[in-house]
Amino acid sequence: MATQAIQAKYASLGGAKSPLGTPQSQLVQDGNSGFSHIKYTNGAIYWSASSGASAIYGDIYKKWISSSNMGYPITDEQSTKDNVCRFNNFSGGGAIYWTLANGAHLIYGGIYQKWMASGGEAVFSYPITDEASTPDNVCRFNNFNNGGAIYWTSAHGAFLVYGEIYKKWQSLGGEGGYLGYPMTDETSAGAHGGRYNDFNGGSIYWSPAHGAHDHAGPLPDHLDFDNNYVFPDGVAAGGNTHLRLSSSGDMQFSGHFHDSGAVDYDYAVAIVLTDADNQAYSSTQQGKISGTTGVLFGGSRDSDWNLTANNPAVASSWRAIVAQYSVTAQSKVNIDIKSLLDEVMSIIEKAGPIVGAVVALF
């Protein structure tokens, strides 16, 4: 059966005029593997009861012969749909891909499984390196011609890293830099097209607005923003604010303003934070502080507040906030809160457009 199937395959490929060349052996049994083969000038045809007859030749055959962990061919050499690449699949759970530009490369095991689950060559393009070890032997990887890689560790499995995040990671030393190895696939985040990979030493967040930003270590569970306010000469008042944002969306906004002069003031304060996606978040407060005369009529020189709330927009955009934030804070007297917020937004928008509506935190 094996001999007949191999001879039929050979004839279907063109016999001696095929890329295989002429026969160089009789049927050979490959131990207890269940495979048999006949060798030809430039390759071989392998047969098993489960896979039938499969032809392998040329550079893919040479690459396979030089390897030891691929098993036996279970498909003919064939072209990818775009005709850029030639490949054979193997019984060991892998493949060898060949392109004119990059030659033949091995991909197998957990990396091969990840690649195929992610769409294979149709999505992630072709391997341009064999599976190889990193210098510390902790990780195995293949690089691909779309500008990315799949990294695998025994502890965490295989993860995709590509595009601008891959370029940023490589610029920081790749697996030899402080970020180390990928711990997640590239994954979407937030509502404005953000993408990220986590690494065992930190993370990289990419946004259409500002590109890729690296962060060392775990993401913080909260960020604190403190501001002091001094009014122009002639206004004997001032104050300070504290804003805390948390990864859970929990928030705290507190502040204190004091009038040390004779005149009463209505004050307003506006704080606007922008993140790596150019999303803006506002926190505002207004109140009254009394001078000497106002105190005589029951007013207070001090105005204090302490607000707490939860905003899901903060939680969903936490990676973008941590990746890059900018805070603009202003306080003025005798101005309504909307006018002050408009002033702050006009300052911010000179640097670039804000995406979507401003998120009011409180």
DSSP 23: B
In a domain, 282, yes or no: yes
User: Which has the higher per-residue pLDDT, 220 or 351?
Assistant: 220
In a domain, 150, yes or no: no
User: Across residues 272-293, what is the average pLDDT?
Assistant: 97
CB 154 within 8 A of CB 129: no
DSSP string, 187-245: EEETTTTEEEEEETTEEEEEETTTEEEEEESSPPSEEEEEEEEEPPTT--EEEEEEEEE
Mean pLDDT, rounded, of the chain: 96
Q: Give 123's pLDDT tier (boundaries 50, 70, 90).
A: confident
Of the candidates 88, 60, 62, 59, the residue with the CA atom closest to the CA atom of residue 74:
88
Give the angle subtended at the CA of 303 by the CAs of 298 and 306, to the nearest 5°: 135
Is the pLDDT at 36 greater than 90? The verdict is: yes
At 24 the pLDDT is 97
Domain that holds residue 356: 222-360
**Chain centre distance of CA 84:** 27
In a domain, 19, yes or no: no
Q: Output the six-digit token pair for 151.
A: 């990294």
User: Across residues 92-96, what is the average pLDDT?
Assistant: 97
Q: Give 53's pLDDT tier (boundaries 50, 70, 90).
A: very high
At 352 the pLDDT is 85
In a domain, 281, yes or no: yes
Is the pLDDT at 292 greater than 90? The verdict is: yes
In a domain, 301, yes or no: yes
Is the pLDDT at 79 greater than 90? The verdict is: yes
pLDDT per position as a tens digit, 325-336: 999 999 999 999
**Chain centre distance of CA 263:** 55
> CATH number for the domain including 311?
2.60.40
In a domain, 35, yes or no: no
CB 328 within 8 A of CB 271: yes
Q: Give 25's pLDDT tier (boundaries 50, 70, 90).
A: very high
In a domain, 184, yes or no: no
Q: Give 1's pLDDT tier (boundaries 50, 70, 90).
A: confident
pLDDT per position as a tens digit, 140-180: 999 999 899 999 999 999 999 999 999 999 999 999 999 99
Number of domains in the chain: 1
In a domain, 5, yes or no: no
pLDDT per position as a tens digit, 210-265: 999 999 999 999 999 999 999 988 899 999 999 999 999 999 999 999 999 999 99
Give the angle subtended at the CA of 232 by the CAs of 228 and 233, to the nearest 5°: 125
